[in-house]
Chain A
Amino acid sequence: MSKYKVCVVGGHCSNRVIIVAEQLTEYFEKQGIDCQVFTHLAASEYGFPPRSNLILQLLPAFNEEEAGVPVINIKPLIGDPLHPATIEKILKQIRADYPM
Chain B
Amino acid sequence: MSSRIYLDYCSTTPVHPSVRDKMLRVLDADFGNPSSMHWAGKDSRQLIDQSRADVASGIGCQPSEIVFTSGATEADNLALFGILRLFPSNEAHLITSAIEHHAVLHAAHRLEQDGYSVTYLPVDEHGLVNPEDVRRAIRPETKLISIMYVNNEVGSVQPIAEIGKIAHEHNIRFHTDAVQAVGLFDVNVDDLNVDTLSLSAHKIYGPKGIGALYLRAGLELAPMILGGPQEHSLRAGTENVPGIVGLGAAMNHVRQHRAEERVRIMELRKSLIDRLRAQAPEVIVNGLEEATAPHILSISFVGADAEMMLIRLDGEGIAVSLGSACNSKSIEPSHVLTAMKLPQEQIDSTLRFSLGMPTTKDEIDVLLDVITSVLPRVTVQ
Contacts and interface: CB of A to CB of B under 8 A. Distances in A.
Interface of A: 11-13, 15-16, 19, 42-43, 46-47, 59-61, 63, 73, 75, 78-79
B379 interface: yes
A24 to B, nearest CB: 15
Given A46-B314, A46-B315, A60-B378, A11 B329 contact: no
Nearest to B348: A75
Given A60-B380, A73-B381, A42 B330 contact: no
B113 interface: no
Interface of B: 305, 307-308, 310-312, 314-315, 326-331, 377-381
Contacts of A47: 315
B307 A12 contact: yes
Contacts of A12: 307, 311, 326
Contacts of B378: 59-60
Contact of B311 (A15, A43, A73, A75): A43
- How would you classify the secondary structure of chain B's contact residues: helix, strand, loop or mixed? mixed
A63 to B, nearest CB: 8
A60 B329 contact: no
Contacts of B329: 15-16, 19
A79 B330 contact: yes
Contacts of A46: 311-312, 314-315
Given A13-B326, A16-B328, A42 B380 contact: no
Nearest to B322: A12
27 contacts: A11-B307, A11-B310, A11-B326, A12-B326, A15-B326, A15-B327, A16-B326, A16-B327, A16-B328, A16-B330, A16-B331, A42-B308, A46-B311, A46-B312, A46-B314, A46-B315, A47-B315, A59-B305, A59-B378, A60-B308, A60-B378, A60-B380, A60-B381, A61-B311, A73-B381, A75-B380, A79-B330
B377 A78 contact: no
A60 B377 contact: yes
A42 B315 CA distance: 10
A47 B328 CA distance: 24
Name the 5 nearest CB pairs between A and B, nearest first. A13-B326, A15-B328, A11-B307, A59-B308, A46-B315
A75 B304 CA distance: 13
Given A43-B314, A60-B379, A60-B381, A19 B328 contact: yes
A16 B307 CA distance: 13
A32 to B, nearest CB: 27
A59 B307 contact: yes
Nearest to B378: A60
Contacts of A15: 326-329
Contacts of A60: 305, 308, 377-381
Nearest to A57: B308
Most buried by B among A11, A43, A46, A47: A11
Contacts of B315: 46-47
Contacts of B305: 59-60, 75
Nearest to A71: B381
B171 to A, nearest CB: 47
A78 B331 contact: yes
B257 to A, nearest CB: 34
A11 B308 CA distance: 7
A42 to B, nearest CB: 5
Contacts of A75: 305, 380
A13 B326 CA distance: 6
